[in-house]
Each structure stands twice: as structure tokens, then as C-alpha cells.
């Protein structure tokens, strides 16, 4: 099975065997981190990183990943480049992708909610780069999906539950109130990869906070193929019953985009009214001694209480570390020697 040159915009685009290959290599890379086993996989290779939006973990983990594989990750801000936009002339995606394919071994792109005017525009941009590039395009989080986070989440579950024991466990993907007005990317990636690996999935959120119907349909299809259940709840208490993994995160309302603009202030005001949607110790007591996870940064005191986020059942730091290792595995298998 060769993954050389394969784009990664969403884990749903890859087979279960391909995803497992990434996770198995990531585990070995984590184990062999300070040996020389993988030290030259990206020898003299450069990975371009397009950051329409800033980050903490994403830039740090990709740069560290390239370094540990003997390569280089180059930070690029599209606003400082002469790229064509709706408001300005410049180089087209086709020309930029074809030229950069001559320079680098891969391109990562990060574009989130406030850099687009409507849901789906970010995914369209990545898809266009993938159409014209001769090198892999990797989503570093866009408005629709966050595949690297999804893989890091699953590696965390393999680590704490066991690779063979994940199937049949129940994931609670629960909305949390807060002041961040976040995109759907991490949430949608989470339910797709979890259902693909055979987990039961419960989505819990206040009325009106539905995510992409296409993603829900794919998640249901994954559950059906694996003989598992998909459920929806609007009860912030009973949704926790029997959960094995709790993933509490804020995400924006479906009408946050209006007239081509991201209405963050309006969304934050609306979200903060649902202050009973917080993951706390009382709700976690309803679970099956569940693990708590989150992609970070965490809005403590809103999405989740400090007591839960810092508890011995929280795997947030392990998952954050896993971003480094799954990204090494992705680059090694799609771009490496």
C-alpha cells in the first residue's frame, strides 16, 4: 500500500487500512523519537505551510515534525504573497500550485471561519490546490475538516483504550458554550473518524446547532456499516449516560455567516446564553468513567470545568503531543524518501 503523493483533506477520503497505517507508523515514531530510525526521511525536503489563520500547536507541531524527519517546514502568510483574491489581482491557485510543486515536497493549508465569507469556501480552496498541485496537499484545519486532529484523537484512544478495544465504545460529541465561535472542522472530523473505527456516536447540542448534513449522513453510514449506533440529543445532562469518551467543544450556529460575513459577536452573544452546556464533574459521573478529550485551546469554565480538564481521565496533553507524531507519519508516507 503506497500513500506517496496522496492528498489529505479529510480522513473520510482514506480507507481504514490507510488510516491505520498512519496511526501504526505514528506509534512507532513516538516510540523511536530520539533514535535515528526516521531522522532522514525528509532529507533536504521542504514543506510549505500556508497560514491564513494563526495557531499554537499546528505551527509548532509541523515545524518540529519536519525537523525530526530531517526536513524543513517553511512558514508562509498568504497576505504577504501576491495571490489572487476576490478583491485583488494576483497569481491564480493553478499557477501558485504548479510553481510550488517544483519547490517543495508538500503544502499544508490552514484557513478557518473568519477568513471566509461562507461555509465551504475553505474546503473549495484546498480542493483547487489539490487539483493542480503535483505534491500532497494537507489540511492543517479548514472550515470543514481537520484530519490531523482527527488522527491525533484516534491515536489517543488507541493509547488509553487499546487499538482492539476502540470499536464498540461510545463517543459523546457534546457542544460547550463559550466566547470563541469555532468552526465545525474538529467536531466533524471527530465523528467521522470515530464512526469509521467502529464507535457509537452521540451528538449533543442545543437546538439550532446542527452541523453539516452531508457529514452527518457519512457518519451514520459509517455507523451502519460497523453495526453501531448514531444518536442525537438536545439534553445537556442525559446525553452523558454511558459515554466512554467525552469530547466537549464549542461550535458555531448554522447561520453565523450572513451576507458574506462571519458574525462572531452575534454568535458569541447567542452561545453564552446556553451556560448549562458545560462539561463538569457532575455530568462526568453519569458516564462509564469516560476519558475527556479536546483539541485545544480550551475555553476553561465554559466548554469544560478546570476539574475535568485537569483530571486524571483527561487525555488532552497526550492528544496534543500526538499531533506531532501523526503529522510525521503523514509526511513520511506521502512526501518522504
CA dihedral 28, 12, 156, 57 (to 10 degrees): 90
Above 90 in pLDDT, residue 94?
Answer: yes
Sheet containing strand 291-293, strands side by side: 230-233, 200-204, 170-175, 245-249, 291-293
The answer for residues whose C-beta is within 8 angstroms of residue 102's C-beta and 6 or more apart is none
Residues 223-240, mean pLDDT to the nearest whole number = 98
The answer for residues whose C-beta is within 8 angstroms of residue 283's C-beta and 6 or more apart is 236, 237, 240
CA dist list (Å): 145 to 63, 70, 139, 193, 329: 21, 28, 8, 11, 19
Above 80 in pLDDT, residue 85?
Answer: no
> Class for domain 11-145+322-335, per CATH?
alpha beta
What pLDDT shows up at residue 82? 84
Which H or E run includes 95?
helix 93-100
pLDDT tens digit string along 95-151?
999 999 999 999 999 999 999 999 999 999 999 999 999 999 999 999 999 999 999
**Percentage, residues of the chain above pLDDT 90:** 94
How many helices (H) and strands (E) the chain has is answered by 11, 11
For residues 178 and 31, what is the distance between their CA atoms, to the nearest angstrom?
37
The answer for residues whose C-beta is within 8 angstroms of residue 136's C-beta and 6 or more apart is 5, 6, 7, 8, 105, 106, 107, 334, 335
What pLDDT shows up at residue 141? 98
pTM of the predicted model, to two decimals? 0.97
Above 90 in pLDDT, residue 80?
Answer: no
> Class for domain 149-319, per CATH?
alpha beta
Kindly indicate the confidence band of residue 79, based on its pLDDT and cuts at 50, 70 and 90: confident
For residues 36 and 265, what is the distance between their CA atoms, to the nearest angstrom?
49
Kindly indicate the confidence band of residue 56, based on its pLDDT and cuts at 50, 70 and 90: confident
Q: Indicate the burial class of 124 (C-beta count within 10 angstroms; 0-12, 13-18, 19 or more).
A: middle
The answer for residues whose C-beta is within 8 angstroms of residue 336's C-beta and 6 or more apart is 41, 42, 45, 69, 105
Residues 293-298, mean pLDDT to the nearest whole number = 96
For residues 122 and 111, what is the distance between their CA atoms, to the nearest angstrom?
6
Asked if 314 contacts 246 with a C-beta cutoff of 8 angstroms, the reply is no
What pLDDT shows up at residue 180? 87
Above 80 in pLDDT, residue 88?
Answer: no
**Average pLDDT for the chain:** 96
What pLDDT shows up at residue 165? 97
Asked if 69 contacts 328 with a C-beta cutoff of 8 angstroms, the reply is yes
Every domain range in the chain assigned CATH 3.40.50.1370: 11-145+322-335, 149-319
What pLDDT shows up at residue 289? 98
The answer for residues whose C-beta is within 8 angstroms of residue 327's C-beta and 6 or more apart is 61, 62, 65, 148
Lowest mean pLDDT among 10-19, 72-81, 210-219: 72-81
Amino acid at each position: 500500500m503506497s500513500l506517496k503523493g496522496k492528498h489529505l483533506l479529510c480522513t473520510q477520503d482514506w480507507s481504514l487500512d490507510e488510516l491505520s497505517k498512519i496511526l501504526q507508523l505514528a506509534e512507532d515514531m513516538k516510540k523511536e523519537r530520539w533514535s535515528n530510525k526516521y531522522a532522514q526521511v525528509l532529507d533536504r525536503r521542504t514543506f510549505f505551510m500556508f497560514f491564513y489563520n494563526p495557531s499554537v500547536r499546528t505551527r509548532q507541531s509541523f515545524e518540529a515534525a519536519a525537523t525530526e524527519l530531517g526536513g524543513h517546514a517553511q512558514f508562509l502568510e498568504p497576505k504577504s504573497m501576491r495571490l489572487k483574491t476576490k478583491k485583488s489581482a494576483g497569481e491564480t491557485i493553478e499557477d501558485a500550485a504548479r510553481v510550488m510543486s517544483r519547490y517543495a515536497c508538500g503544502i499544508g493549508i490552514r484557513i478557518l471561519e473568519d477568513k471566509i465569507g461562507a461555509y465551504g469556501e475553505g474546503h473549495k480552496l484546498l480542493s483547487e490546490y489539490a487539483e493542480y498541485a503535483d505534491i500532497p496537499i494537507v489540511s492543517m484545519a479548514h472550515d470543514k475538516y481537520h484530519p490531523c486532529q482527527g488522527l491525533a484523537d484516534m491515536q489517543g484512544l488507541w493509547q488509553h483504550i487499546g487499538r482492539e478495544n476502540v470499536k464498540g465504545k461510545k463517543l459523546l460529541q457534546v457542544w460547550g458554550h463559550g466566547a470563541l465561535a469555532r468552526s465545525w472542522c474538529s467536531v466533524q472530523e471527530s465523528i467521522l473518524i470515530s464512526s469509521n473505527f467502529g464507535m457509537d456516536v452521540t451528538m449533543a447540542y442545543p437546538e439550532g446547532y446542527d452541523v453539516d448534513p452531508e457529514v452527518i449522513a457519512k457518519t451514520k453510514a459509517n455507523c451502519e456499516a460497523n453495526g453501531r449506533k448514531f444518536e442525537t440529543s438536545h439534553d445537556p445532562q442525559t446525553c452523558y449516560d454511558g459515554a466512554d469518551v467525552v469530547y466537549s467543544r464549542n461550535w458555531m450556529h448554522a447561520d453565523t455567516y450572513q451576507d458574506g460575513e462571519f458574525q462572531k459577536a452575534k454568535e458569541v452573544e447567542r452561545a453564552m446564553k446556553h451556560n448549562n452546556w458545560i462539561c463538569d464533574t457532575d455530568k462526568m459521573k453519569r458516564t462509564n468513567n469516560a476519558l475527556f478529550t479536546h483539541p485545544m485551546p480550551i475555553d476553561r469554565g465554559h466548554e469544560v470545568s478546570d476539574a475535568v480538564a485537569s483530571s486524571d481521565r483527561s487525555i488532552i496533553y497526550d492528544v496534543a503531543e500526538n499531533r506531532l507524531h501523526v503529522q510525521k507519519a503523514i509526511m513520511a508516507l506521502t512526501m518522504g524518501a
